Amino acid sequence: MTPAYERYRRGVLLANVVSASGQVGATRSRRAKIEVLAQLLRGLEPAEIEPTVAWLSGELRQGRIGTGWRTLASARADPASAPTLTVGVVDDLLTELAATGGAGSAGRRRELLGSLFAAATADEQEFLFRLLTGDLRQGALEGVMTDAVAVATALAPDDIRRAFMLSGRLPLTAAIALTEGAAGLAAVRLQVGRPVRPMLASPGESLAGALAQLGTEVSVEYKLDGARIQVHRDGGDIRVFTRSLREITTAVPELVELVAGLPCWKAVFDGETLALNDSGRPRPFQETMSRFGAQSERELMLRPYFFDCLHLDGVDLVDEPLSRRLEALESVAAQYRIPSTLRPTADQAAAYFDSALADGHEGVMVKALDSVYAAGRRGSAWQKVKPEHTFDLIVLGAEWGYGRRTGYLSNLHLGARDPDGGEPIMVGKTFKGLTDALLRWQTEEFPRHEHSRDQHTVYLKPELVVEIELDGVQVSSRYPGGVALRFARVLRYRPDKTAAEADTIDALRALLR
């Protein structure tokens, strides 16, 4: 251990984090997971909170550190006999790794990784290897970790969720809660230029059902087949983010130029963007997504459709009702509002739903006008209604095809997200809807996400999300979630979503009713 790390020798041991990770992964009880995590959080020093929360959520505080699987595999050494690594030592080393670049960086990376693995026990090596390869899945998803922070601090979960929404970073939110308490959480404000976690919608069983639940004080909006965007303007500084909070400003210059022309100085807009064909109808979702990585002006042009305004000229609006936020949006960006109608009758809403479909869109969103902005939660205040049931599910594996599909990965194994943070729960298989192009793509792409295989199937890490259309679900004893998909078919892959944003097993079970 180098002298630079001596000050951390008395910190919390990495072994404690590894033990907590193992305990969380070994139980399906949400309450048990939360208690294990809360106990660990209570014993952390301030500087240890952010890295620990990030690791137990399966992430690195530093983001990508530029180290591949082969480099990590070659760095593994005989394990240490006893734990000595502390959280501070490991976090400092990862920070140094992330900053290492230029001439001689490969050798320096091997040296740093070699010293890390040589000081780690066998269990610590396994934990670090899975963490650094993105394969650490022990069930501490955002919801579980958020509740654990609440238990560890005896603070209101809603206060923690609100601070998380506005900061966009759970490790930072946990550090504030554990070191500054309720006052620190209350001081977290929306900051123009820093992305806010987006509010999500729940699948609505039907238009009539959504209207019956939410009443007449609603907005009914087109549900576009586009990509979620969040646009921040602070004077001449305009930044555009995806639903995962990734910045794409340089890839969408036409959106930046458009927002620069709006009559406001400071603003945060939430909405969708999509490419249109010459007749004004939406192009396929994949074509819109391709623009997020485009660098050429010859690529398809994107058009924004804003449906919310979270800040306008010095006034935060996240705690205002949707009706007030829509008034603010209308005042500065009326020409870019998503098509919508306020307080429609049941017949008017049905006609609007038919109009959305006729215009080539997915359906409608029904939103309560008195709802405040609640990020990251699929509450009933926003409901998406489509003509068919569609769910975003996780690809767990694929079977090798036969007949004309010989040589291609075909039949998909599909899983729903466990809301308590466990492994995805398998709910069915399908090969329907797979075009020749998708078969070729799957066969090339899936091995990059492989964690094992047998003679018939390639099993994947839970990283890829696919949108599935189905007629419904049925009770099943074959699958662990107790439900199975009926007549499922592939619509498209969702590169804009992570497995943590897939639909839950509870959403599928709701169809049984």
Residues annotated as catalytic are 223
Q: Is 461 helix (H, G, I), strand (E, B) or coil?
A: coil
User: What is the Cα–Cα distance from 258 to 249, expressed in whole angstroms?
Assistant: 12
CA-to-CA dists, residue 362 to 226, 229, 279, 305, 458, angstroms = 10, 18, 18, 14, 32
How does 15-39 read in b/e, with b if 16+ C-beta sit within 10 Å? bbbbbbbebbbebeebeebbbbbbe
Residue 398 is classified by DSSP as: E
- Closest alpha carbon to 337 in 322, 326, 353: 326
User: What is the Cα–Cα distance from 44 to 259, expressed in whole angstroms?
Assistant: 44
| 457 beta partners | 399
For residue 67, count other CB atoms closer than 10 A to its CB: 19
User: What is the Cα–Cα distance from 251 to 288, expressed in whole angstroms?
Assistant: 12
User: What is the Cα–Cα distance from 416 to 401, expressed in whole angstroms?
Assistant: 23
- Closest alpha carbon to 359 in 222, 219, 208: 222
Residue 465 CB contacts under 8 Å (≥ 6 apart), including other chains: 392, 393, 394, 395, 493, 494, 497, 498, 499, 501, 502
| H or E element in which residue 379 lies | none
- Closest alpha carbon to 337 in 245, 240, 272: 272
